[in-house]
Chains A and B, each alone.
Chain A
Amino acid sequence: MKPAPFAYVRPASVADAVRQLSENAGSARVLAGGQSLVPMLHMRLMRPEVLVDINSLGGELGGIEPRGSETVIGALVRYTELETSPVLAERLPLLPRVVRHVGDRQVRNRGTIGGALVQADPTGEIPLACLALGAQVVARSAAGERTIPIEEFFDGSYASALEPEEMLVSVRLPLSPQHCAFFERGRKHNDFALLSMAIVANRDGDGSWRSVRIALGGVNDRPVLASAAAERLEGRAWDVGDVEEAVRLALDVVDPPDDVRASAEYRRHLVPIHLGRLLRELGGEA
């Protein structure tokens, strides 16, 4: 037994769970899949006084639901469900594509989309994909519900905009882009990514690209949108010159960490190479 002592509660509803969070604000943590939280408990990087286990709230927090043009995913939907969902395969194939890079089979059987977002790992595949897809994050507290645009949700390395008395209840994904692309480079299979990138876009009949969004992971303290690069490509049937200029513009948002996996310089070096390749691959795909 390794964690510091904590009390464990298993609320019967989301209302009950947020009541627990507000009664213990600041000292309680939500336990979802536990694939990041439990190791942090074992290492005592986190010492909550209360763990609020939401795993029995699948009725309220589960489900992948198409609602008009939007797709709503419950916070407790596990990676394995994202991987195999026919709804996502049709509407948001980026999610099943990236999720195969998350952990391994055992981790994907437990880990949840809500947990991945709250964990806010700057190299995480789910935060990256949700940023590319322009997600809206729905958070609830005893005081009510609010919706946080994903662009404002990540608040630095491993930090989210959630207040201590709030919990993430669902993720709303407004887009169903026609095209998506994903790449990540890690030092070894299953390891944290050195850098990752996701692109979503639509393409007109004349070959020009619309609604281009480019998200980069592992190159800043949070996943970032390369907005200037995306704008450069917007409305164009991009050629080699456009791609070259876009990857140069992408470097504006790149401020990578130096860590045990790679130097900042190396990460910076990789971004234009791989973003250029991915854009050219996407361009040739349609």
Chain B
Amino acid sequence: MDYSHEISVTVNGTVQRTRVESRVHAADFIRHQLGLTGTHVGCEQGVCGMCTVLVDGQAVKSCLLLAVQLDGREVQTVESLGENGGLSDLQQAFKDAHALQCGFCTPGFLMTATALQREGRALSRDEIRDEMSGVLCRCTGYEGIVDAVERHLGGEGDD
């Protein structure tokens, strides 16, 4: 019976080979073992969505995945979004629409929106709200966030 495992996972384009304990969740692994602290940890029970990352292109809550389950997968965190040291178009849209105040939830929203954009579906404002509803924000009242995602998906700026 194995309580720790050798894994190989591609994170933001870099292959990481490392050993993880069975009971470590993916968010703790990303933060503590890889030092990528842009992924935030809130509730650790799948409610708040702060820890949302992309695994093989799909938005998932990394606190509800075990690190060992990342073996062979491709992970994208918020650190992958910045371009040449500046903001990506999506990040700029958040800034322009005042879609953040304290910023703690922002990585979760950015990664959820990134997955949504890749699906390429045309979405109504209500549908955007529903798709983003797995991330909580306690500052903004959401209007700015929905504005930013709506403008970005509407093609004002291209990723």
Give the B-binding residues of A (Cβ under 8 A).
1-9, 31, 34-35, 38-39, 41-43, 49-51, 53, 55, 100, 103-107, 109-110, 189-190
CA distance A107 to B130 in the complex (A): 13
Closest chain A residue to B132, Cβ basis: A105
Closest chain A residue to B53, Cβ basis: A106
CA distance A42 to B27 in the complex (A): 13
Determine if B96 is an interface residue (Cβ-Cβ < 8 Å).
no
Quick one: CB contact mask for B4-21 with A, threshold 8 Å, 1 for yes?
010000000000000001
Determine if B64 is an interface residue (Cβ-Cβ < 8 Å).
yes
Q: Are B64 and A110 in contact (CB under 8 A)?
A: yes
CA distance A114 to B63 in the complex (A): 21
- Residues in A whose Cβ lies below 8 Å from that of B134: 103-107, 190
Q: Are B44 and A42 in contact (CB under 8 A)?
A: yes
User: A8, A49, A107: which contacts B68 (Cβ < 8 A)?
Assistant: A8
Determine if B97 is an interface residue (Cβ-Cβ < 8 Å).
no
Q: Are A1 and B23 in contact (CB under 8 A)?
A: yes
Closest chain B residue to A36, Cβ basis: B46
Interface of B (DSSP majority class): mixed
CA distance A145 to B64 in the complex (A): 30
Determine if B22 is an interface residue (Cβ-Cβ < 8 Å).
yes
User: A4, A5, A38: which contacts B25 (Cβ < 8 A)?
Assistant: A38
CA distance A100 to B131 in the complex (A): 10
Q: Smallest distance from the beta carbon of A142 to chain B beta carbons, Å?
A: 18
Q: Are B64 and A38 in contact (CB under 8 A)?
A: yes
CA distance A107 to B64 in the complex (A): 9
Determine if B40 is an interface residue (Cβ-Cβ < 8 Å).
no
Determine if B133 is an interface residue (Cβ-Cβ < 8 Å).
yes
Determine if B152 is an interface residue (Cβ-Cβ < 8 Å).
no
Quick one: CB contact mask for B96-119 with A, threshold 8 Å, 1 for yes?
000000000000000010011000
Q: Smallest distance from the beta carbon of A54 to chain B beta carbons, Å?
A: 11
Q: Smallest distance from the beta carbon of A162 to chain B beta carbons, Å?
A: 22
Q: Are B22 and A7 in contact (CB under 8 A)?
A: yes
CA distance A41 to B45 in the complex (A): 9
Q: Are B2 and A9 in contact (CB under 8 A)?
A: yes
- Residues in B whose Cβ lies below 8 Å from that of A38: 25, 46, 63-66
CA distance A92 to B125 in the complex (A): 28
- Known interface pairs A6-B22, A6-B23, A42-B44; A105-B131 also in contact (CB < 8 Å): yes
Q: Smallest distance from the beta carbon of B136 to chain A beta carbons, Å?
A: 10
Q: Are B61 and A106 in contact (CB under 8 A)?
A: yes
- Residues in B whose Cβ lies below 8 Å from that of A104: 49, 133-134
- Residues in B whose Cβ lies below 8 Å from that of A42: 25, 44-45, 63
- Known interface pairs A7-B3, A189-B133, A190-B134; A107-B46 also in contact (CB < 8 Å): yes
User: B52, B64, B132: which contacts A34 (Cβ < 8 A)?
Assistant: B64
Determine if B59 is an interface residue (Cβ-Cβ < 8 Å).
yes
CA distance A50 to B23 in the complex (A): 11
- Residues in A whose Cβ lies below 8 Å from that of B59: 105-106, 109
Most buried by A among B24, B49, B64: B64
